[in-house]
Chain A
Amino acid sequence: MFEIMEGLKSAFWLVVTFDAELWEISLRSLRVTLTALLVASAIAIPLGTFLAVQRFRYRRTIISFINALMGLPPVVVGLLVYILLSRSGPFGVLNLLFTPTAMIIAQVIIITPVIASIAHQSMRELWAEYHDLLISLNTTKGQRILTLIKDGRRNLLTAMLAGFGRAIGEVGAIMIVGGNIDHVTRVLTTAIALETGKGDFALALGLGFVLIGIAFVVNIAIHTLSQTEREGRW
């Protein structure tokens, strides 16, 4: 209990004193996570919607595979990305290992199946509702996908928020591919792991509370900006 109180106090002081290192780490966390979220959403949302509207051979297999990838262990993803980006790996020449870009790549791999799977579920329901109308209007595949994405944006936002939640709290993969290098790849989660290892539980808890605060603020901001809760709007 004492440590939790100390953690809260520590978080409070870190925030109100505009601790430079905290801001740097927090902003890097946000930059890495939001970039990964945008890239993953750009892949996962059209993919999930396409799987909802298009019937083809092995479609169910692909859906099952994506669902299975939701449970992908982040440490394994980190290891694979590490091997691919290491000097002896196929992408070693790009010199991306231990950079924020490597962390973004790992996060994209982790959250794309999460967003795609949730997007597919909600788009499938909307497609069942719209199917007859869109077929009778002679819409093209592209028009169907765009219509579903537009009208299902509230559900897609939920899918994106699930992806954000998974990415912002990720530690295993980004620790491996980022290396937790001070002023380069250190983010909130890896900093928490480091402080815990050093035995500075108060600071670790403080960083943890800041992380939770960021997650809350981003969720509320997205809901507010997209006006999902406003009466009478879609």
Chain B
Amino acid sequence: MTDMFPLTLEQVIVRRQRKLVLGPVDLTLDQSGLTIILGPNGSGKTTLLRVMHGIERINAGTISWAVDDPAKHAFVFQSPIVLRRTVSENLAYPLRLLKTPPQNVRAAVHHWVERIGLGGVRNSPATRLSGGERQKLAIARALIRKPEVLFLDEPCANLDGHATREIEALLQETAANGTRLVMATHDLGQARRLARDIVFVLHGKVHESGPAETAFSNPKTSEFAGFLRGDIVT
């Protein structure tokens, strides 16, 4: 459980080259569970996640955490970024940045490399891994610092069913261990499987937010109802 929440966004606006890509957004996230940011491609999910994580500059509005500590956030990108190093060195990298003692680094790397099933390739270049393996490595590298909040941008996009199932299991375990997860996806099935809360984003605006069970059974807006029916919402 983290004391960083609630996270409150008030009238947040992001523009790129004078074009409005997000907002105005008013949103509050509380301290536990797994929130899914749902919406079609290009709706502003990624921008919203990046804004929350603090790596996207906002043009207006405010973002406030109960306790703000950027070192306790981690982010997993849609296209996993792996360093041009071995699998083990990728995992060790965030800990070395924090000047963690070498024996603790070795222990943490050993734990995580086995946890994600990459023990056999720990000394191989990470760029040789498959898409699913790279994404597991990226998630493990984010979790190795024991963040209190983990943002994930469509971590299962372009992955097959087996890899998706493995990653979802890892995320559920992480959430059960008390890490707050905020994840963007356009996959409705995945949202139904994982979400405790839903934020539905369309055209850069939040159209619906609240407990997943209520949102799925009783959508408040016609846009979200259409999205749930499988309509092409534009």
Contact = CB atoms under 8 A, between A and B. Distances in A.
A136 B83 contact: no
B178 interface: no
B55 A151 contact: no
Nearest to A152: B84
Contact of B55 (A136, A147, A232, A233): A136
Contacts of B20: none
A151 B81 CA distance: 13
Given A136-B74, A147-B93, A151-B85, 10 more contacts: A129-B81, A130-B81, A130-B83, A132-B75, A132-B77, A133-B83, A137-B97, A138-B71, A233-B125, A234-B86
B121 to A, nearest CB: 10
A143 interface: yes
A226 interface: no
A126 B82 CA distance: 11
B189 interface: no
B205 interface: no
Contacts of B125: 232-234
Contacts of A139: 97
A38 interface: no
Interface of B: 53, 55, 70-71, 73-75, 77, 81, 83-86, 93-94, 97, 124-125
Contacts of B77: 132-133, 136
B92 to A, nearest CB: 13
Mostly helix, strand, loop or mixed at chain A's interface? helix
Interface of A: 126, 129-130, 132-133, 135-139, 143, 147, 151-152, 232-234
Contacts of B97: 137, 139, 143
A135 to B, nearest CB: 5
Given A143-B97, A232-B125, A234-B125, A136 B85 contact: no
A10 B143 CA distance: 66
A133 B74 CA distance: 10
Contacts of A234: 84-86, 125
A135 B81 contact: no
Contacts of B94: 137
A189 to B, nearest CB: 37
B111 to A, nearest CB: 20
> 3 closest A-B pairs (Cβ-Cβ)?
A136-B75, A133-B81, A151-B84
A130 to B, nearest CB: 7
Contact of A151 (B73, B74, B83, B124): B83
A129 B81 CA distance: 7
A132 B81 contact: yes
B179 to A, nearest CB: 16
Contacts of B86: 234
A135 B55 contact: yes
A118 to B, nearest CB: 18
A169 B174 CA distance: 60
A151 B85 CA distance: 7
A132 B84 contact: no
A233 B126 CA distance: 11
Contacts of B124: 232
Contacts of B55: 132, 135-136
